[in-house]
Amino acid sequence: EVTSFAVRVAPLGGTGLVLVLAEDQTEQRRVEAVRRDFVANISHELKTPVGALSLLAETISDASDDPDAVRRFTGRMQQETNRLTSVIQDLITLSRIQGAEPMANPESVDVQSVLDEAYDSVRTAAEAKEIEVVISGAEDLTALGDESLLATAVRNLMANAVAYSPERTRVSVSAAANEKTVEIHVADQGIGISPQDVERIFERFYRVDAARSRATGGTGLGLAIVKHIMTHHRGEVTVWSKEGSGSTFTLRLPGPQDRERPRPGENSDR
Q: Interface with ligand ADP by CB under 6 A: which residues?
A: 156, 160-161, 164, 188, 190-193, 201, 206-209, 213, 218-224, 247
Give min distance, CB of 13 to ligand ADP, in A.
55
Closest contact distance (angstroms) between CB of 190 and ligand ADP is: 5
Distance of closest approach, residue 26 Cβ to ligand ADP, in angstroms: 27
Q: How far is the CB of 209 from ligand ADP (least distance, A)?
A: 6
Residue nearest to ligand ADP (CB): 218
Q: Rounded CA gap, 17 and 7, in Å? A: 16
- The answer to whether the beta carbons of residues 186 and 157 sit under 8 Å apart is yes
CB of 200 to ligand ADP, least distance (A): 8
State the amino acid at position 124 in one-letter form. T
144 vs 193 by CB, closer to ligand ADP: 193
Residue closer to ligand ADP, measured from CB, 21 or 40: 40
CA gap 141, 110 in Å, rounded: 6
Q: What letter does residue 85 receive in the DSSP assignment?
A: H
Show Cβ contacts of residue 171 under 8 Å, excluding neighbours closer than 6 positions: 126, 131, 132, 133, 134, 158, 161, 162, 165, 186, 187, 188, 189
Report d(CA 229, CA 244) in Å as an integer: 28
Nearest by Cα to 255 from 102, 109, 103: 109
